């Protein structure tokens, strides 16, 4: 798909008042959702678009971009004891340290 074809297809995709931004140059194009949350402009991650993708793949990528951005927002707002324990901004090295401490909560025997 050409940039023009991708842009035309993005203009007919709707989710609330969100925008589907097409960025990049040449064969390195990306899709990014843009929206307002809590009165501030937000934008999701960049989804790389293949120059060989089909229209269906583009629409599905836009859908996935919305799902991922919504999950991000949920993770930022979900609280346990006042803390965002599932927050999307944790440093991966800190998460590795948590794994290294074997801080697991698992069942031992009994019913599933």
In a domain, 8, yes or no: yes
Domain residues for the domain of 50 are 3-77
The model's confidence at residue 109, banded by pLDDT at 50, 70 and 90, is: confident
Give the phi and the psi of residue 62 in degrees, each rounded to 5: -60, -40
Tally of domains within the chain: 1
Q: Report the predicted TM-score, pTM, of the whole model to 2 decimal places.
A: 0.86
In the predicted structure, residue 108 carries a pLDDT above the cut 90: no
CA neighbor of 13 nearest in space, from 32, 29, 28:
32
Q: Is residue 48 in a domain? A: yes
pLDDT in tens, 47-91: 999 999 999 999 999 999 999 999 999 999 999 999 999 999 999
Q: What is the DSSP letter of 63?
A: H
**Tell me: the pLDDT tens digits for 12-55?**
999 999 999 999 998 899 999 999 998 999 999 999 999 999 99
Distance separating alpha carbons of residues 105 and 30, to the nearest angstrom: 39
| Residue 59 included in any domain | yes
């Amino acid at each position: 798909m050409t940039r023009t074809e991708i842009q035309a297809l993005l203009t007919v995709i709707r989710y609330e008042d969100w925008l589907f931004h097409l960025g990049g140059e040449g064969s390195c194009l990306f899709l990014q959702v843009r929206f307002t949350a809590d009165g501030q402009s937000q934008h999701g991650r960049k989804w790389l678009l293949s120059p060989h993708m089909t229209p269906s793949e583009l629409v599905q990528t836009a859908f996935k971009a919305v799902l991922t951005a919504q999950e991000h927002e949920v993770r930022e707002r979900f609280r346990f004891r006042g803390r965002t324990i599932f927050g999307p901004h944790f440093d991966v090295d800190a998460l590795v340290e948590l794994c290294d401490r074997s801080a697991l909560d698992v069942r031992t025997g009994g019913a599933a």
